[in-house]
């Protein structure tokens, strides 16, 4: 098959050949060489941003530039217009620009230089390759959302065609819709499944009710990769049982890269090629392997925008046997969302609200944090922290997005707050259902 995936990225200015070659070189380093590589890249990226990025210069100020003295970046630091955060010589036109999912309730717009983004894809391609998946030829069953506006929708569908994937939209996961999903698996030769954990788990529960093993009706299936939310052990057992294929756990962040990916030995291997991952305590000191701490990540290649000692908002534990070249994530704490049950009987995973809340993620950084609570089957409360109150026009825009992605006839209230409640791990949960019968 013609390598459309690589070619489409190359044509959009992402140098995949060079990125893949660099990644191969990094992977082949010995443990000793890898240590020198990490130290050099840390020094290089900090020096670059101190010389070329006014936003980072101001953040560091007159403080020492020793690594342990560098400030910890958080999402609130980044909630200001993107143009104020870009390095000299970079603009939205010559960079890759996107919005974070807002799954943690702290949305913002970010940028990567094109080489850095190519390395992100090279890293993904390399890890999926552990399971015999080739992005240029393997057929993906994709459980994701999709923009509902005409142009955004067509762009995503065209991208799906280029990268050889079929998209199952996760905005409605009622049994009738899942029955339609099943028919596609009966008629299409999918090689792998990739998508949001909660959506894929709901599909597996539907298969369990119907007493169906997916591999029996789609024998070409090799593997399933779940992402964006926590995969609990009981759900992993369910997926293995109902799909009849290996279930691979992925942990990533759109603003960074693929952070950790389950290797063929069952270990959650941390990306040490394009990222430097630290586990820190409340005083920003590294904790020993085996102890829980904040996951703080440095993007070693992104010159367009600094992600240096960036607190992603998750808590994690590195395995005691981790090395600098091969860190193993023993446990990740965070990233769960409930499922919304709507009056029509439609089920929508909490991540659907990412597409709704894109409506309020503007580049002015006004909305700092938000959570959405379902209090009744037709009633939702949006609590948000912002510099200015949402205008009637903005609220109308959100309500229109809700009707598009969920359904008509829902009631929403908007409450501006000074601060939002967090759980014991300091995390915001973007969507919470307060209706007992739809949890789990």
Which tens digit of pLDDT belongs to each residue from 63-112?
777 999 999 998 888 888 899 999 999 999 999 998 876 555 566 889 99
Residues 171 and 145: beta-carbon distance below 8 Å: yes
Confidence of residue 362 (pLDDT cuts 50, 70, 90): low
Angle at 395 between CA 390 and CA 398, to 5 degrees: 125
Closest of 242, 2, 9 to residue 117, by C-alpha? 9
- Whether the pLDDT of residue 140 is over 60: the answer is yes
Read off φ and ψ for residue 218, nearest 5 degrees. Answer: -135, 75
Residues 221 and 243: beta-carbon distance below 8 Å: yes
Confidence of residue 439 (pLDDT cuts 50, 70, 90): very low
What are the structural domains of the chain? 4-333 (3.40.50.12780), 339-438 (3.30.300)
d(CA 176, CA 215): 21
pLDDT of residue 320: 95
Segment 181-204, tens digit of pLDDT = 999 999 999 999 999 888 898 899
Residues 311 and 296: beta-carbon distance below 8 Å: yes
Segment 395-423, tens digit of pLDDT = 888 888 888 888 888 888 888 888 777 55
Confidence of residue 440 (pLDDT cuts 50, 70, 90): very low
Task: Report in angstroms the alpha-carbon separations of 324 from 29, 281, 422.
Answer: 12, 19, 32
Segment 294-352, tens digit of pLDDT = 899 999 999 999 999 999 888 889 999 999 999 999 988 765 556 788 898 887 777 67
pLDDT of residue 428: 59
Of the listed ranges 22-26, 114-118, 391-395, the least confidently predicted one is 391-395
Instruction: Please measure the distance between the N-terminal and C-terminal CA atoms of the chain and give it in whole angstroms.
Output: 41
Highest mean pLDDT among 120-129, 149-158, 249-258: 120-129
Residue scoring higher pLDDT (258 or 361): 258
Instruction: Tell me if residue 332 falls in helix, strand or coil.
Output: strand
Residue scoring higher pLDDT (63 or 361): 63
Chain mean position to CA 71: 24
Q: Which residues pair with 416 in a beta bridge?
A: 384
- Please state the pTM of the whole predicted model: 0.77
Length of the chain in terms of residues written: 440
Residues 366 and 388: beta-carbon distance below 8 Å: yes
pLDDT of residue 248: 94
pLDDT of residue 363: 57
- Whether the pLDDT of residue 279 is over 60: the answer is yes
- In the predicted model, what is the mean pLDDT of the chain? 87
Instruction: Tell me if residue 418 falls in helix, strand or coil.
Output: coil
């Amino acid at each position: 098959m013609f390598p459309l995936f690589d070619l489409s990225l190359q044509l959009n200015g992402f140098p995949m050949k060079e990125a893949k070659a660099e990644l191969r070189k990094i992977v082949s380093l010995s443990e000793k060489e890898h240590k020198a590589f990490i130290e050099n890249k840390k020094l290089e990226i900090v020096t670059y941003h101190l010389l070329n990025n006014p936003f980072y210069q101001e953040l560091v100020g007159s403080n020492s530039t020793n690594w342990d003295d560098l400030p910890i970046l958080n999402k609130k630091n980044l909630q200001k217009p993107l143009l104020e955060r870009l390095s000299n010589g970079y603009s939205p036109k010559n960079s890759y620009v996107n919005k974070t999912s807002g799954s943690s309730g702290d949305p913002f717009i970010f940028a990567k230089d094109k080489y850095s983004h190519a390395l992100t894809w090279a890293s993904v391609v390399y890890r999926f390759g552990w399971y015999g998946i080739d992005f240029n030829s393997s057929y993906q069953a994709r459980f994701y959302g999709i923009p509902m506006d005409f142009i955004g929708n067509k762009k995503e569908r065209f991208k799906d065609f280029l990268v050889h994937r079929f998209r199952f939209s996760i905005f409605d996961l009622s049994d009738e819709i899942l029955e339609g999903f099943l028919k596609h698996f009966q008629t299409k030769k999918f090689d792998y499944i990739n998508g949001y954990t909660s959506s894929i788990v709901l599909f597996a529960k539907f298969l369990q009710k119907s007493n169906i093993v997916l591999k029996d009706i789609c024998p070409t299936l090799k593997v399933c990769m779940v992402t964006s939310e926590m995969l609990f052990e009981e759900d992993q057992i369910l997926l293995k049982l109902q799909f009849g294929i290996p279930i691979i756990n992925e942990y990533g962040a759109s603003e960074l890269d693929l952070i950790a990916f389950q290797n063929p030995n069952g270990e959650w291997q941390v990306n040490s090629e394009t990222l430097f991952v630290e586990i820190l305590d409340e005083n920003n000191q590294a904790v020993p392997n085996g102890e829980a701490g904040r996951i703080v990540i440095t993007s070693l290649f992104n010159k367009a925008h600094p992600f240096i000692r960036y607190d992603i908002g998750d808590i994690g534990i590195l395995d005691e046997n981790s090395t600098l070249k091969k860190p193993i994530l023993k446990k990740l704490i965070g990233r769960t969302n409930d499922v919304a049950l709507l009056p029509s009987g439609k089920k929508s995973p909490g991540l659907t609200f990412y597409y709704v809340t894109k409506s309020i993620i503007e580049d002015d950084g006004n909305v700092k944090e938000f959570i959405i609570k379902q209090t009744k089957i037709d009633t939702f409360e949006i609590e948000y922290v912002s510099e200015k109150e949402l205008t009637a026009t903005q609220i109308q825009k959100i309500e229109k997005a809700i009707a598009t992605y969920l359904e008509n006839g829902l009631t929403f209230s908007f409450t501006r707050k000074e601060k939002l409640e967090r759980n014991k791990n300091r995390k915001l949960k973007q969507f919470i259902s307060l209706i007992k019968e739809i949890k789990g």
